[in-house]
Amino acid sequence: VLNKEEITKKLETIIVPGVNKNLVEMNYVQDISVADSTVSVKLSSACLDESVQEYLKSRISQLVKDGGEAKTAEVTFEEIKPNVLNKIGNVIAIMSGKGGVGKSLVSGLLAVALRRHGFNVGILDADITGPSIPRMFGVSDNPSCSTSGILPVSSKTGIEIMSLNLLLPSEDEAVIWRGPVIGKVITQFWEEVLWGNLDFLVVDLPPGTADAPLTVLQQLPVNGIVIVSSPQDLASMIVRKAVKMAQKMNKPIVGVVENMSYLHVPEINKDLEIFGSSKADEMAASAGAPLLAKIPIDPSLAALCDKGEIEDYDGAVIEDLWKNFGEAG
């Protein structure tokens, strides 16, 4: 018989256009009721323009008919804001003292590690003036938008991504907005993007410890910070600054990552510390947080990032991140 459970199962077969997830997973379903000859389904209209709403209506009618009980479907839409529908377990912000140390790379690798272990993961690219996440994951589709919200774009393995780059007419467009405007975009990425059910939302913060990252930490319910540094940095000073900022904001540092730690040379089977000796342990100590990973300089990793294939990377660091992050959190 067509009961609530059966109907939910049917709704689970309807993929929301633009994301690789179904209506139920995206928390669209508000109510299901079955009367004598009618199945009533109430959905949120968030991010669904009229044509998509019509499409969903006809899909649901068809599925109800296929139930073989001569019932008709009555599908209604209710305006509910994305951030009311979103269920996001953890918001992890990736922070660095300066640009170019691999903050985006670590954001990407952490997301890949969590995804590989079966979690629902999203990445919010909050580095508005230097967005690099879409490129790393090879996504370039324009997100589906309506007046009531924006849908993220799914990567190949199902990581949900939102970045200003996806909304700009061309990837090469330079963003020269001022601080308050940037802050507003980031808030919108939190409030108006329908992320659905996520275990982890990884936030690629703007670089440094100045205003921009501070704004993000104030506006988003971040519950863990990961600090990225390289041996080149004045590690202790940068970490001290980051620790201060985290404390001021009352946010726990859940781990530190040293990037570009060394270069492995197979011919001589040696790890060369080209940017100086590792400061990873020192960094972890001053952050009072575990070292999650030491990432080598790996040209094959850089090449995968440039090709949009970071999800294919199989370096040991992915498992290190997974293991140590899991233990830390």
Ligand X SMILES: Nc1ncnc2c1ncn2[C@@H]1O[C@H](COP(=O)(O)OP(=O)(O)O)[C@@H](O)[C@H]1O
**247, 217 in Cβ contact below 8 A?**
no
**Residue 3 CB contacts under 8 Å (≥ 6 apart), including other chains:** 34
**302, 288 in Cβ contact below 8 A?**
no
Measure the CA–CA gap between 11 and 20, rounded to whole angstroms. 14
- Check residue 132 for interaction with Mg ion (CB under 5 A): yes
Nearer to Mg ion (CB atom), residue 127 or residue 233: 127
- Per-residue burial over 30-61, b if 16 or more Cβ lie within 10 Å, else e, is eebebeeeebebbbbbbbbeeebeeebbebbb
**Residue 69 CB contacts under 8 Å (≥ 6 apart), including other chains:** 1, 2
Nearer to ligand X (CB atom), residue 4 or residue 264: 264
> Applying CB under 5 A, what is the total number of residues that bind Mg ion?
3
Among 120, 132, 148, 286, binds ligand X (CB under 6 A): 132
Q: Which two tokens stand for residue 304?
A: 């995968």
Measure the CA–CA gap between 24 and 8, rounded to whole angstroms. 7
302 binds, among Mg ion, ligand X, none (CB under 5 to 8 A by kind): ligand X
**190, 222 in Cβ contact below 8 A?**
no
Q: What is the contact mask toward ligand X in residues 238 to 267, using x (rule: CB under 6 A)?
A: ---------------------xx-------
- Check residue 230 for interaction with Mg ion (CB under 5 A): no
Nearer to ligand X (CB atom), residue 105 or residue 238: 105
Q: What is the contact mask toward ligand X in residues 97 to 116, using x (rule: CB under 6 A)?
A: --xxxxxxx-----------
Nearer to ligand X (CB atom), residue 46 or residue 295: 295
**125, 131 in Cβ contact below 8 A?**
yes
CB under 6 A: which stretch of 4-12, 29-37, 93-101, 235-243 binds ligand X? 93-101
Residues 194-233 that bind ligand X (CB under 6 A): 207
Tell me, what amino acid is at 120? N
- Check residue 104 for interaction with Mg ion (CB under 5 A): yes
**Residue 313 CB contacts under 8 Å (≥ 6 apart), including other chains:** 109, 112, 300, 301, 304
The CB-of-157 to ligand X minimum distance in angstroms stands at 19
**255, 290 in Cβ contact below 8 A?**
yes
Measured from each CB, the residue nearest to Mg ion is 104
DSSP state of 176: -
DSSP state of 144: P
Nearer to ligand X (CB atom), residue 96 or residue 163: 96
Nearer to Mg ion (CB atom), residue 207 or residue 255: 207
The residue with tokens 């019932």 is 71
Nearer to ligand X (CB atom), residue 302 or residue 316: 302
- Check residue 17 for interaction with ligand X (CB under 6 A): no
308 binds, among ligand X, Mg ion, none (CB under 5 to 8 A by kind): none
Among 145, 185, 297, 328, binds ligand X (CB under 6 A): 297
- Check residue 301 for interaction with ligand X (CB under 6 A): yes
Residues within the interface to Mg ion (CB under 5 A): 104, 127, 132
Under the rule (CB under 6 A), what is the footprint of ligand X? 96, 99-105, 132, 207, 259-260, 295, 297-298, 301-302, 305
